[in-house]
A and B are shown apart, each in its own frame.
Chain A
Amino acid sequence: MKVARRQFKVEVPSVAMGDIAFNLLVFFVILARAQDDSHLQWEPAVAADVEAVKNTKVSIVVDNNNKLYLNGRELDQARLAGAVEKELGDAPAGQRTVILKIHNDSQALRFEPILEAVSEAGGEIVHILEENKDS
Chain B
Amino acid sequence: MKLRRSANKMLIEPPSVATGDIAFNLLVFFLVCASTQPDAGRKQEIPRSDPQQQQTEQSQNIEVSITRTTAAINGQVKPAGDFLRDLRLLLAAKTKPEDKVVVVKSTKDVPYTQWILYTGWIGEAGGIVTLQMEEEQTTLVN
- Chain A residues engaging chain B, CB cutoff 8 angstroms: 16, 19, 22-23, 26, 29-30, 33, 38, 45-54, 56, 99-100, 102-109, 111-113, 115-116, 118-120, 122, 124-131
Query: What sequence of 0s and 1s flags, for each residue 102-119 of chain B, a beta carbon within 8 Å of any chain A beta carbon?
Result: 000011111111011100
Q: Judge whether B52 is part of the interface by a CB distance below 8 angstroms.
A: no
| Interface hits, B53-88 → A, CB 8 Å | 66
Residues of B with C-beta under 8 A to A119? 46-49
- Which range holds the interface residue count of chain B? 35 or more
The residue in chain B whose Cβ has the minimal distance to the Cβ of A118 is B46
B37 → chain A closest CB, angstroms: 10
The residue in chain B whose Cβ has the minimal distance to the Cβ of A131 is B40
A111 near B120 with CB under 8 A, answer no
A84 to B91, CA, bound (A): 33
A56 near B116 with CB under 8 A, answer no
Q: Judge whether B97 is part of the interface by a CB distance below 8 angstroms.
A: no
